Amino acid sequence: MRGRPSSVGLAAPPQTIVRPDSWVLGVGLAALAIPTVFSLAGQEWSRESGAHGPIVLALGGWLVWRQLPELRKEFHPGSLATTFATLSVALLIYVFGRAYDFLTLETGGLYGAGVALLHSRFGLVGLRRIWFPVLYLAFAIPTPHAVLDTITAPLKHLVTYLATSGLAVLGLPVARQGVTIVVGQYQLFVADACSGLNSLVGLTAISLLYVYLMRGPSLAYSLLLTALTVPVAVAANIIRVALLVIVTYVFGEEVGQSFVHFAAGLVLFSSALLLIFALDRALQAIGFRRKSADAP
């Protein structure tokens, strides 16, 4: 007599574990991100100081995405209590920034919500594995103008002084008062956009990305290149200001404020990046090697 097949010992087919709270967080994060992105595009991303924002956002997202297959293999969801605490603080910051039109806090709150989402999916171990992409995305948070002015103001005075001193040695009839340059019959004010120091954050972000892709996630080496970015930016800005002064003196103010002004900015940024790359090669040539223990 044939009996029914026994189901004892048969294992259920393996299934991917999906946490509903992660999907809820993802949808909520997207809903928060849409108005913030529109605000960033209309305000910060149209300025020189924030032009790096969309690039950082795209590259940072790509850096996280390329590591997702590895993270999924070691799927360890984070503590719901930690996720909830992080998300609660992030939402409070976001709401406050949104309500009072403080874009830095609004974007910072959105960033915190994104970190909470990653923690929910991959836990602290996963966040530690992708520490550089997570920190790199923080460069998309716009720096408050008051803070940026405080940082760049002394550098702007230094750039103006060194540029005019060098031009005077070359024989140009140039003088300065603060950040105002007088050359011949022309008077030029070295504004934030003219000095180019507002691009310091963007230059630092691109330099760190280069270090990460070429040298790996070394914290010590990243800090070293970041420290070198400041003098590189100052040197490049001295060249830019001097170039604009010479063009204005020779061809007139109309030419100096035309496409030459924009072209000088491109030359500044390109030359600064090339100098950063050259410094990296020089450091490697003299034997600087990162330690594997550097990475957090």
Exactly one of 66, 240, 281, 290 is catalytic; which is it?
Answer: 240
Q: Angle formed by the axes of helices 145-169 and 200-215, to 10°?
A: 90
Q: Note the pLDDT of residue 22.
A: 62
Q: Note the pLDDT of residue 91.
A: 94
Q: Note the pLDDT of residue 138.
A: 93
Q: Note the pLDDT of residue 12.
A: 41
Q: Note the pLDDT of residue 80.
A: 85
Domain boundaries defined on the chain: 20-142, 146-287
User: Catalytic site residue 240?
Assistant: yes
| Of 166, 141, 145, nearest in space to 234 by CA | 166
Q: Note the pLDDT of residue 191.
A: 64
Q: 61-99 burial string, b = 16+ CB within 10 Å, else e?
A: eebbeebeeebeeeeebbeeeebeebbeebbebbeebbe
Exactly one of 98, 121, 194, 290 is catalytic; which is it?
Answer: 194
Could you give the CA distance from residue 270 to residue 260 in angstroms, rounded to a whole number?
A: 15
| 196 neighbors 236 (Cβ within 8 angstroms) | yes
Could you give the CA distance from residue 176 to residue 189 in angstroms, rounded to a whole number?
A: 10
Consecutive 10-residue runs of the chain (296 residues): their mean pLDDT?
45 43 74 91 81 88 89 80 91 94 94 91 88 91 82 81 88 83 78 58 82 78 81 82 82 64 69 82 71 41
Q: Note the pLDDT of residue 260.
A: 61
Q: What are phi and psi of 195, to 5 degrees?
A: -70, -25
Could you give the CA distance from residue 146 to residue 76 in angstroms, rounded to a whole number?
A: 41
User: Catalytic site residue 128?
Assistant: no
Q: Note the pLDDT of residue 75.
A: 63
Q: Note the pLDDT of residue 107.
A: 95
